Amino acid sequence: MSAACGGGSGSGTAGSTTGSATSTTSSAPAASADPVEWTGTFCEGIGPTIDGVMSLLKTMFEGGADDPAVQKAALLDYSSKAAPALTRAGEELEDLGAPSAEAQALHDELVKFFTESGDTLTKVSTDLAALDPADPEFATKLEQLGGDQADPSKLQEQIKKLQDDPQLGEAFTKAPQCVALQEKMASLGG
């Protein structure tokens, strides 16, 4: 089984080399990403989101929950930082490729999660900017923004999947970005 992990770069040794280049599609990278680098990219991508959630919670606990204008400002701050970070992480993970064949499905799921979350939060920012905190329906309209994709618990689910993966879970404990993230989350009690 482990012999198949060699990448197959020597498979054309006895064959003819009639073409100058074989297929150049990027759908299946030849080399696997380093698991520690991959998990570090994951953690670096969600770092601003975790920071944003912490800042948002702090604002709400300090009285912002009773002031629609403060809520709007805090949510805009969160979404304007989290959206580009998630989008960038999705792109960087896509460029790195999966750390192993076994991790391909999780890799694809996380790239999709980051990309869709970034897109959703970008739209939420735009929609939120248009809301008037003085509108009596502000709270109702605010609740309707983003749907499931903007739910922070979805991010927590993705972190858990990564931690539960045998290979990536170990890399998660070694990547400096993930160690720092775990310390932040511990300070939140999560």
Q: How far is CA 75 from the centre of its chain?
A: 19
Q: Which of 26, 24, 15, 131 is nearest to 75 (CA)?
A: 131
Q: Which of 22, 24, 43 is nearest to 174 (CA)?
A: 43
Token pair for residue 29?
A: 């990278």
| pLDDT band at residue 50 under the 50/70/90 scheme | confident
The stretch 6-26 carries a mean pLDDT of 40
In sequence order, what are the residues at sequence separation of 6 or more whose Cβ sits closer than 8 angstroms to the Cβ of residue 150? 79, 117, 120, 121, 124
- Residue pair 121/75 in contact (Cβ under 8 Å)? The answer is no
Q: What is the pLDDT of residue 147?
A: 60
Q: Under DSSP, is residue 100 helix (H, G, I), strand (E, B) or coil? A: coil
pTM for the whole structure: 0.74
